[in-house]
Amino acid sequence: MILHDDKFVAKRRAIFWCRQNITWLSIMVGLLWATPGCTTAGTQGAAGTRAQSAKIAPELIALYEEYTSRPVSGRNEPFRSANKLLHIVDAHVIVDAVASGDASVLEGDLVALGMRDAVRFGRIVSGQLPIISIAALATLASLNFARAASGLTQKMQSRDSRSSEL
């Protein structure tokens, strides 16, 4: 017959609770490590929060930050982005926005933000949005997603070069 004294039982309880606390601590550290870093309101950028930035493509967020962080002395000159793939016209960027519901509601919301030459096709609204209005896109309930418009142009081959390939 094995007798358990109080010291032995207390030691086993301490080991059990220590292991359990280490397990919970490991889980919490893992969750904190996997969670994106927190930022203050002043450094959140164009979208405000990660959940809202899911509506705005990264190239638009980067464009907004580039536009708002340029020096005051450069504000008299026409804005030129470092991203040459963006179509910028007079401080407006050409965007494609996908509606979460009715595209005509999204079109009205975008025009209210200053969009020029708005065109609707299905659930997509395209047009020239003021760069300064990119931050407000995240607040639109009618918006599912917005990205910079992209177009691909191909150089036409001359008739002589095509016939020589055949």
Question: Rounded distance, CA 100 to CA 94, Å?
Answer: 19
Using the predicted structure, report yes or no on whether residue 101 has a pLDDT greater than 80.
yes
148 CB-contact burial (10 Å; exposed 0-12 / middle 13-18 / buried 19+)? buried
Residues 29, 51 within the same domain: no
Token digits for 107? Answer: 């079109």
- Sign, Cα dihedral of 43, 46, 51, 54: negative
Nearest in space to 134 (alpha carbons), one of 94, 98, 106, 104: 94
Which residues span the domain enclosing 64?
46-148
Please, which pLDDT band fits residue 89 given cuts at 50, 70 and 90? confident
Within-domain flag for 153 = no
Residue 101 maps to a domain: yes
Q: Is the overall model pTM greater than 0.85, yes or no?
A: no
Residue range 63-85, pLDDT digits in tens = 888 888 877 765 677 778 878 87
Q: How far apart are CA 83 and CA 150, in angstroms?
A: 12
Q: What is the pLDDT of residue 110?
A: 94
Q: Are residues 91 and 133 in the same domain?
A: yes
* Number of structural domains found in the chain: 2
Task: Verify that 15 and 52 share a domain, yes or no.
Answer: no
The verdict on 24 and 55 lying in the same domain is no
